[in-house]
Structure 1
Amino acid sequence: MRILVFGGTTEGRLLAHALAEAGQNVTVSVATPLGAEELGCAQRMRVLCGRLSAVQMKEMLEPFDLCVDATHPYATEVSANIRTACRAAAVPLRRVRRQASEIPAGSVVVPSAEAAATFLEGTQGNVLLTTGAKELHAFSRLERSRLYARVLPVCESIITCEREQIPHSNILALQGPFSRQLNEAMLQQFSIAWLVTKDGGAAGGFSAKVEAARSVGARLVLIRRPEEEGEDWQVIVKECLEQ
């Protein structure tokens, strides 16, 4: 079976390596060089790097027997493109679903980054943004000195922070997930009153953020996870190997 995995997540890496180690031919498509670096290499596994349109995905899919969408739970546009491409190429699609977290008591739950920014306009205190560089523009209405952006340590993220006029002293370019202790240290170091996050689940270190915020008295602003259906990556691996 020829399998194409759209990955870049912990589950995508685990699934791809498990299939390759079991003798399956796996191609993994990731958006960035950082995703390729994290994926590593293995026999029977080929890695492709670059962002793709639905048309490009469709062309890539044509030689494959199965597609697995193992992208991030919040990557709704990418998942929509994958579904469109699979229908056009007549390739079966399986979706990996990351287990959602229990919403902590006292969290401010909002539907989007824009809604988070609207809420924060009526507050005081420093804000730690852990939602990624792509979401920074949504917070442009807030005073920049309040904003601390934790982003991936790649040029693209730094350029985005500069474009959004985040002070260089407020740019935290680090690769997660982070421990509770490191989260606590950051929250304390920068006197953070509000922690803006997505529900990245266990793989994204969500519980460590929650525990750290609770420990230092920071409030959580949680961008609600989009509703979706899917399966555990281990189920998909098992069924692929049984075919």
Structure 2
Amino acid sequence: MRILILGGTGEASALVAGLAGTVHAVTLSLAGRTAAPRVEPVRTRVGGFGGAEGLAAWLRAEATDLLVDATHPFAARIGVNAAVAAQSVGIKILAVRRPPWTRRPGDLWTEVASVADCVAALGPVPRRVFVTVGRLELPVFAAAPQHDYVVRTIEPVGDALPVPRLTTIAARGPFAQADEARFMREAAIEVLVTKNSGGEATYGKVAAARALTVPVVIVRQPEKPEVARVADAAQALAWIEAFSTR
């Protein structure tokens, strides 16, 4: 089969590794938001398609048999575009969607619908806030300059968050719970702001917050189209194998 994988996640990398060297012709598509993405062992393209219509045109031109949406849980727009494009072209789509984290005893969560809603949830009283929502959504926190922000991102923050008190950390997960707990204690973190991305790679900060009784403002995963879906790369590989032999 000719397979297009919309990637940028650990699940996508694991899926590519499992498909590389097989009879399938695999193309991995990356959005281009990371300056130095990991080199993958399949044909790779970088950049957008131009919405659902552009993606559909690419799928037709490449005679694609299967579209796999293995993008980040918060990549809501590409999820919609992928579903629309697959239906337009008349091909099957499979989504790899990791389950969100669930609240456990001891979690001090305030759940919100968007990153913008995190600002109000933090309240007016100045606090030392650990923010891990990605660089692109940092500007909304400029509306609450009273807080002391500690921001961790993969890409440099630059001027994305113009506030008086800002500490930036460039790092890529996974992050172990013990390391996260040590960091949060040493940095005197009073509240964690994060997205409910699911998976194990970044859960350490959530577990550390629970152990330290640090409140968490957490953004719920957005709704996505109902398509065939699996929870991880191993399930995706099994699904693709079954689908290819029908």
Per the normalisation by structure 1, the TM-score is 0.86
The answer to whether structure 1 residue 171 and structure 2 residue 168 are counterparts is yes
- Would the aligned equivalents of 1:151 and 1:172 in 2 still touch at CA under 8 Å? yes
Unpaired runs of at least 5, structure 1: none
Aligned with residue 146 of structure 1, among 145, 148, 163: 148
The answer to whether structure 1 residue 52 and structure 2 residue 49 are counterparts is yes
Shift of 1:33: 7.0
Higher helix share: 1
Residues 13 and 27 (structure 1), Cα distance of their counterparts in 2 relative to 1, 3 Å cut: same
Shift of 1:169: 5.4
Q: Secondary structure at the match of 2:37?
A: helix
- Would the aligned equivalents of 1:8 and 1:35 in 2 still touch at CA under 8 Å? no
Aligned equivalents of 1:166, 1:23: Cα separation in 2: 53
The answer to whether structure 1 residue 87 and structure 2 residue 84 are counterparts is no
Residues 6 and 24 (structure 1), Cα distance of their counterparts in 2 relative to 1, 3 Å cut: same
The answer to whether structure 1 residue 5 and structure 2 residue 5 are counterparts is yes
Aligned equivalents of 2:11, 2:91: Cα separation in 1: 21
- Name the residue aligned to 1:226: 222
Shift of 1:101: 1.6
- Name the residue aligned to 2:198: 201
- Name the residue aligned to 2:75: 75
- Listed one character per residue, the Cα deviations across residues 96-129 of structure 1 (whole Å, up to 9, x for unaligned) are 1102221233211111112111111334321111
- Listed one character per residue, the Cα deviations across residues 77-99 of structure 1 (whole Å, up to 9, x for unaligned) are 12112222222332221111102
Shift of 1:239: 3.0
- Would the aligned equivalents of 2:111 and 2:219 in 1 still touch at CA under 8 Å? yes
Residues 93 and 35 (structure 1), Cα distance of their counterparts in 2 relative to 1, 3 Å cut: farther
- Listed one character per residue, the Cα deviations across residues 183-242 of structure 1 (whole Å, up to 9, x for unaligned) are 123312321101011122224422x11221123332111111224452133333223223
Residues 24 and 135 (structure 1), Cα distance of their counterparts in 2 relative to 1, 3 Å cut: same
Residues 96 and 127 (structure 1), Cα distance of their counterparts in 2 relative to 1, 3 Å cut: same
- Name the residue aligned to 1:217: 213
Aligned equivalents of 1:83, 1:239: Cα separation in 2: 18
Q: Which amino acid aligns with 1:120?
A: L
Aligned equivalents of 1:182, 1:167: Cα separation in 2: 27
Residues paired across the two proteins, number = 234
Residues 33 and 211 (structure 1), Cα distance of their counterparts in 2 relative to 1, 3 Å cut: closer
Per the normalisation by structure 2, the TM-score is 0.85
Aligned equivalents of 2:140, 2:54: Cα separation in 1: 29
Aligned equivalents of 1:111, 1:77: Cα separation in 2: 16
Q: Secondary structure at the match of 1:48?
A: strand
Aligned equivalents of 2:211, 2:94: Cα separation in 1: 39
Residues 239 and 213 (structure 1), Cα distance of their counterparts in 2 relative to 1, 3 Å cut: closer
Aligned equivalents of 1:179, 1:237: Cα separation in 2: 27
Shift of 1:11: 0.9
Aligned equivalents of 1:138, 1:19: Cα separation in 2: 40
Aligned equivalents of 1:130, 1:41: Cα separation in 2: 26
Shift of 1:35: 8.0
- Would the aligned equivalents of 2:149 and 2:166 in 1 still touch at CA under 8 Å? no
- Would the aligned equivalents of 1:7 and 1:28 in 2 still touch at CA under 8 Å? yes
- Name the residue aligned to 2:29: 29
